[in-house]
Amino acid sequence: MTDTTTPGPDADVDTPVHVDTGAELDALVEEHDVVLVDFYTKGCTLCQAVEPVVGTVARATDAVVAMCNPRTDLDLVDEYDVRSVPTLLLFADGEAVDRRADGFVEADELVDMVEQFT
């Protein structure tokens, strides 16, 4: 079952949450200090390999981790320059501060990236 509820700012989130629209993503980024977003598509084997990695980041850091299929809101593709999947985008204080879009990323690398901002 997919969780489509957006956690509040005081939520202790240790599993990725799913967002389907730009409005949901905007609300999540606005409510939380640090958010890591995994843009993925169904059927992408590399995306499936990254999914447990972002789950590890959710458990290991204070960041909220979100998963978003940009096909559910195509405006996200242009807004966040998603040219390939998976694309991992890190937000801190409402601003995009880092991204990874070059294939598989190890959990340690993502944790280090997130912890710079937590």
Residue indicated by tokens 């204080």: 93
- The answer to whether the bond into 86 is cis (omega within 30° of 0) is yes
Q: Who's near 97: CB < 8 A, 6+ residues apart?
A: 90, 91, 117
Selecting among 22, 44, 71, 101, the annotated active-site residue is 44
44 is catalytic: yes
Selecting among 25, 34, 36, 47, the annotated active-site residue is 47
Q: Who's near 111: CB < 8 A, 6+ residues apart?
A: 56, 57, 60, 61
Give me 79's structure tokens: 């807004």
* Identity of residue 68: C
Contact 60, 91 (CB under 8 A): no
Residues with active-site annotation: 44, 47
